[in-house]
Amino acid sequence: MTNASPTDLTWAKSSYSGGNNNCLEVAHGTADALPVRDSKRPTGPTLTIPNPVWTTFITSVKTTELA
How many CB atoms within 10 Å of residue 19? 7
What is the distance between the alpha carbons of residues 40 and 8, in angstroms, rounded to a whole number?
Answer: 18
pLDDT of residue 67 exceeding 50:
yes
In the chain, the number of structural domains is: 1
pLDDT of residue 49: 92
pLDDT of residue 9: 86
Contact 19, 10 (CB under 8 A): no
pLDDT of residue 3: 52
Question: Is 1 among the domain residues?
Answer: no
pLDDT of residue 50: 93
pLDDT of residue 1: 41
Question: Is 44 among the domain residues?
Answer: yes
Q: What is the largest distance, in Å, between two alpha-carbon atoms of the chain?
A: 40
Task: Note the pLDDT tens digit of each residue in 15-63.
Answer: 777 666 678 888 876 678 889 998 888 888 989 999 999 899 889 988 8
Question: Is 53 among the domain residues?
Answer: yes
Residue 47: which domain range?
6-63
Buried b (16+ CB within 10 A) or exposed e, 27-48: beebeebbbebeeeeeeeebee
